[in-house]
Amino acid sequence: MSSATMATRMIEAAELLLRDGSASSAFRRRAVSTAYYAVFHALARQCADFPRSAPRRSEEYERVYRALEHGPLKQAFLQSPLKDNRLLSKIGQSVVRLQAERFKADYMPPITGLFSSAQAEELVGLGRETVKEIEALRAGPDNARLLATALMFTGKRR
């Protein structure tokens, strides 16, 4: 049995919220938000694991992990080189969509039916698939390295 990552566990939590509280708008909102944050943590881990020189419980690892920011994250996926890579562009489209829906879930006033059960299930499913795609990048280090460097170093572009 393989050990689950925090991102995978967060998706499981989002699915539990939908399963046990699908009639509750608040539970659906939390599930959508949690799905986005699962993807965000999968990306943060991907960045912090490149390069793999710092131990996970070190201050250096924590600093890299915490360096990922929501605004620059979205912008990085909308620009080269990420938008030009088929696999990373697909991940980016999911991230941008989930981020927009997370914003609505977290900051919109109480609105009846903000997310239907079907919409929330679709977004949590998108989160699950995106986490899987990010975690699968470990098998092909070129895309993993491209993703990590593009997300971490968002300054000057070519």
Q: What is the pLDDT of residue 10?
A: 98
Q: What is the pLDDT of residue 62?
A: 86
- From first to last of its 158 residues, the chain has per-residue pLDDT tens of 346 899 999 999 999 999 998 789 999 999 999 999 999 999 999 988 876 666 778 888 888 888 889 989 999 999 999 999 999 999 999 999 999 999 999 999 998 889 999 999 999 999 999 999 999 998 778 899 899 989 988 765 54
CA-angle at 134, arms to 133 and 137, nearest 5°: 90
Length of the chain: 158
pTM over 0.95: no
Q: For helices 86-107 and 117-136, give the axis angle rounded to 10 degrees.
A: 140
Residues 98 and 123: beta-carbon distance below 8 Å: yes
What ranges do the domains of the chain cover?
A: 6-152
What angle do the packed helices 25-48 and 6-21 form, to 10 degrees?
Answer: 170
pLDDT at 52: 66
What is the CATH number assigned to the segment(s) 6-152? 1.20.120
Q: Answer yes or no: are the C-beta atoms of 48 and 61 closer than 8 Å.
A: yes
pLDDT of residue 158: 47
Q: What is the DSSP letter of 23?
A: T
Looking at residue 53, what is its pLDDT?
A: 63
In the Cβ-directed half-sphere of 72, how many Cα atoms lie within 13 Å? 14
